[in-house]
Chain A
Amino acid sequence: MSYDFCYSRTRLAKGSAVHTRVVTANEVRIPEPGAGEVIVVERYGKPYAAVIDADMLELLKRLIAMFGEQPPAELSLSDVALQFHRNSEAGEDVEEFDFELLTTHPAA
């Protein structure tokens, strides 16, 4: 059984970024979506989740990138950038000042 994307309406606000959570096929039991087909899972007679194929997932991502709201940059901040930022803000790992510059490049 294959699947590519599953989301809950309650977790996806209109126009917001898609956060993809990958689970293995062994963890879930869902029908296989055909090309261009959306499988809507209902609960209490209302759409609860949807399963779409990989092509449609790519299309959805592109549409959100084009027309959706910009997700906060902090969401995409990597561990490397965060560690760099923390070191820098703590004043660590900063190049040593060359005091010759006081003579060669004094501020105006």
Chain B
Amino acid sequence: MTTPAASRGTRGAIVWAFAGFQPEAPFQALGRDGEVLTFATAGELAEAVRDGRLQTASSFLVGAKLRPVVLLQERPRGVLPEFAGLKLARFTKLDAREQQRIRDGKERALFYLPHDERKYGLKQENAVDLNSLVRLHRSMLVTRPVGYLDEHELDLLGRRVAECLDIDLTPAIRQGVIERWEQLVAAQRRTPKP
């Protein structure tokens, strides 16, 4: 059963937010007098900083789009203003066979969200792009949560995100199994034989 949105936090929450596009060359940055300067490479940008044409912390012109995202973290203290999140998108531009692969869960880098407005707060089916990790300042959030992923979905999502980030969970799992095994063996040794 879905918990009412008002009583839940932000982990697994679907919100609408302005998500910035990834800056990429050619770069546009504001010069010292507010003029727009264009640089073909990051190296040229660094040279402009060295030469005093740009400040060390320069203002970049980057696009942003209002879109649904799923937040991955809880912020109970509110001392960290940024959230890790993943972008959602539709997949109507893919052909019918490709769309079906996503619906069938055959694409490990995509997490399918069927159309369920009551649960997810979205008007259409979407998928979470597990390769779209983004940091969002709380001031970029346009809405409070419109829906939530459930605990099972979050668990699966977390494992798949780890895969996509090349985080190998195997050693931790293996260590956990070994430790549990050793605990069981130790417990058996302590148990007096009848």
Contacts and interface: CB of A to CB of B under 8 A. Distances in A.
A102 to B, nearest CB: 7
A71 B43 CA distance: 31
Contacts, number: 105
Contact of A73 (B93, B110, B146, B166): B166
Given A73-B166, A98-B123, A107 B107 contact: no
Given A101-B143, A102-B142, A107-B142, A83 B68 contact: no
A107 B18 CA distance: 12
A2 interface: no
Interface stretch (B29-37, B53-61, B125-133): B125-133
A46 B135 CA distance: 52
Name the interface size band of chain A: 20 to 34
B143 A105 contact: yes
Contact of A95 (B124, B129, B142): B124
Given A78-B107, A105-B144, A84 B94 contact: yes
Interface of B: 15-16, 21-22, 63, 65-68, 87-94, 98, 101-102, 107-110, 121-124, 126-127, 129, 131-132, 138, 141-146, 163-166, 168, 170
